[in-house]
Each structure stands twice: as C-alpha cells, then as structure tokens.
C-alpha cells in the first residue's frame, strides 16, 4: 500500500468479526493499485480482540464508536467524512477480496464515466459453503453479468416507470462490496436507516439521474449457510422492509407463495440429483426454500400483524422498531 494522499479510501465497519477478519485486512493491505489508497476501520464495541489486532497493522486507521452510535447508513457516512479519497470503497468485516486487483477494478467501474455514482462487485461463496449457496450466488450475479454493466433511468425510461422488477434490478446495490464517488455522496449521503441503506442510496441516485455500475471482476468471498429459522426471519425482515421502503410485495398472496414453493422444490431436487447431493442436505435445502417463501409472504403483510408478533418473527428487532407501520 502506498502513502497518502489517497485516490481511494476503503472503509470497513466491524463488530466482533472473529478471526476471519485478519484475512480480510491482510488482503486489503495487499491491493495492487497504480495510485495511493487508505484504509479506515470503524469499530463499534468489539470484544474479540479486533481492536487490538487493528492497532498492530501499519497503514490502517482505527475509529472507535460506542455500539449505540452504530447505524448502517450513519456509520458509513462517518467513514466517508473521515477519509479523503475521490472514491470510497466499502467492505463488510466478513467479505474477503478475492485477489489483489479488487480495489483497482472496483474504482475503475465507477471511473469509466463521470455520471456513475457508484458500483458494486460480485460475491462468490466462501470456502466450504453449501453447493446450494454456491449455485444461488452464481445465479444472482449472473443477472447483472448478462445485463448492461452501467444502468440508469435512461437505460429504459418506459420500463422504469412500468416494471417494478426492472426498478429493483436498477437499485440493487450491496455494501458488502461497493464503491461510491465522493462528489455524489456530498450531494446524496447515505440515509440513516437500519436496513437497506445501500439499496435506498442507489435508488436515490438513480432517481436523481445518476448511473450505477456493476463490476463483475471486482470479487469478494462472502456467503452464509443459514438454517430454515434464520432464513425465514431474514426473508421476513427483507420483505417487510421492502414493502415499506419501496412498495414491493414479495409473495404476497397464497397462490404466488405456492408457485414459488413449487419452483424452489423442483429446482433444488433437480440440482441435487444432477450433482449427487445426499437426501439430508437436499431436505435441508428444501426446508430453507419453504422458510424463505414463508418469510416473504409474512413480511408482505407485516403491516397487518400485531407489533409483538412482528418482533417475534424478526431477526433484527432494531430494524422492526425503526420501520413505520405503513399500509401496502
């Protein structure tokens, strides 16, 4: 890593990331760039030795905040304000850059045109991940690889006004692996919210007339093999939040849910047979698919549920308390 002044900054929020964070930071320090970059870690109360570890690494700045001061949008805004780069890249503390070109490629995706507000990169599964998780990540990012790499409202104005799925494609953005242009952030900072700060920001910049880029070659290793309960809770949180924030209804009717479950079951059993996956693993995946659809359907009707029940169904209680109870 070269010395400042930096052309790019890397901001990593942490809280008890565990020993895997050492690999994240090592890989960040090894980036091969033709210009200087800086690294800022913002820790919100880690007790697992992360703070002490970061202090031993030359070239890494540490900013400590109290746990109650953390907010997904707020803390990232703080990170931008404490750095100097023309471009600011974000990682989560469990997203490992796949190689030494990650940062240069991510910045290049934003820098290819002056109206590009930000870019997000590809995720691949972490070592040891379930083959179903590997498949799902590959399928998710294949959508962006096969579509236009740079999109805006002007890519298809008619479709933008009429197709919620296209609008969702345009505002998908992931701060597990992203980079923004500081000059745009100065006009449109992150919202101070508990969920989807990245996608809300992308939606706002698209609405403001900027473009967004996808960097297929800027790769991080990042995945989770969630069990059925956590899959249900996370799907509930996402569906309820997307209903409030964007007006989307994910599997909002029994007929849509039934079709989605049928699709998941057929797809997972077919994949398992083709790849020689055992019965236990296949049943577990089928259960996770059903749980996901159930969570999406419950979340799409979150405004009709008593507050206490919404909290019981949620993985993120702080998120649910922060969301207004708006009708669909």
324: left (phi over 0), alpha (psi -120 to 50) or beta: beta
47 plus 191 within the same structural domain: yes
Confidence check: pLDDT of 205 > 50: yes
Mean per-residue pLDDT, 38-54:
97
Give pLDDT tens digits for 83-137: 999 999 999 999 999 999 999 999 999 999 999 999 999 999 999 999 999 999 9
Q: How many distinct structural domains can be found in the chain? A: 2
Looking at the domain assignment, is residue 328 inside a domain?
A: no
Judge whether residue 7 has pLDDT over 60: yes
63-73: pLDDT as tens digits = 999 999 999 99
C-beta of residue 24 within 8 angstroms of C-beta of residue 10: no
Shared domain for 131 and 189, answered yes or no, is: yes
Are 174 and 200 spatial neighbours (Cβ–Cβ below 8 Å)?
no
Residues 176, 263 share a domain: no
Separation of alpha carbons 58 and 45, rounded Å = 21
Rg of the chain over CA atoms, in angstroms?
20
Asked whether the predicted pLDDT for residue 328 surpasses 70, the reply is no
State how far the Cα of 177 lies from the Cα of 141, in Å rounded to an integer. 13
Asked if 55 and 137 sit in the same domain, the reply is yes
Residues 176 and 92 sit within 8 Å (Cβ to Cβ): yes
Tokens of 301: 């009707």
Q: Tens of pLDDT along 149-190?
A: 999 999 999 999 999 889 999 999 999 999 999 999 999 999
Average pLDDT, the chain: 93
Note the pTM of the prediction, 2 decimals: 0.91
Sign of the dihedral through C-alpha 209, 173, 175, 310: positive
């Amino acid at each position: 890593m070269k010395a400042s002044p930096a052309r790019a900054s890397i901001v990593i929020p942490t809280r008890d990331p565990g020993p895997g964070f050492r690999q994240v930071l090592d890989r960040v320090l090894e980036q091969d760039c033709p210009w200087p970059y800086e690294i800022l870690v913002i820790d919100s109360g880690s007790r697992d030795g992360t703070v002490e570890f970061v202090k031993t690494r030359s070239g890494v700045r540490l900013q400590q905040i109290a746990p109650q001061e953390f907010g997904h949008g707020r803390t990232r805004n703080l990170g931008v304000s404490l750095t100097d780069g023309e471009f600011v890249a974000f990682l989560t503390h469990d997203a490992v850059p796949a190689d030494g070109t990650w940062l240069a490629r991510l910045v290049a995706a934003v820098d290819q045109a002056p109206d590009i507000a930000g870019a997000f990169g590809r995720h691949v599964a972490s070592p040891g991940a379930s083959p179903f998780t590997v498949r799902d990540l590959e399928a998710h990012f294949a959508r962006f690889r096969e579509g236009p790499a740079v999109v805006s409202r002007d890519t298809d104005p008619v479709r933008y006004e009429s197709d919620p799925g296209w609008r969702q494609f345009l505002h998908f953005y992931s701060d597990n692996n992203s980079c923004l242009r500081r000059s745009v952030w100065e006009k449109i900072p992150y919202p101070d919210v508990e969920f989807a700060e990245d996608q809300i920001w992308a939606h706002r910049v698209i609405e403001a007339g900027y473009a967004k880029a996808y960097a297929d070659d800027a790769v991080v290793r990042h995945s989770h093999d969630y069990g059925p309960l956590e899959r249900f809770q996370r799907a509930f949180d996402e569906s309820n939040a997307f209903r409030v924030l964007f007006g989307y209804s994910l599997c909002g009717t029994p007929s849509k849910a039934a079709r989605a479950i049928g699709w998941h079951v057929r797809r997972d059993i077919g994949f398992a047979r083709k790849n020689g996956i055992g019965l236990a693993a296949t049943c577990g995946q089928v259960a996770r698919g059903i749980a996901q659809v159930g969570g999406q359907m419950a979340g799409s009707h979150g405004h009709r549920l008593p507050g206490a029940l919404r909290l019981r169904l949620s993985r993120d209680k702080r998120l649910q308390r922060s969301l207004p109870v708006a009708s669909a």
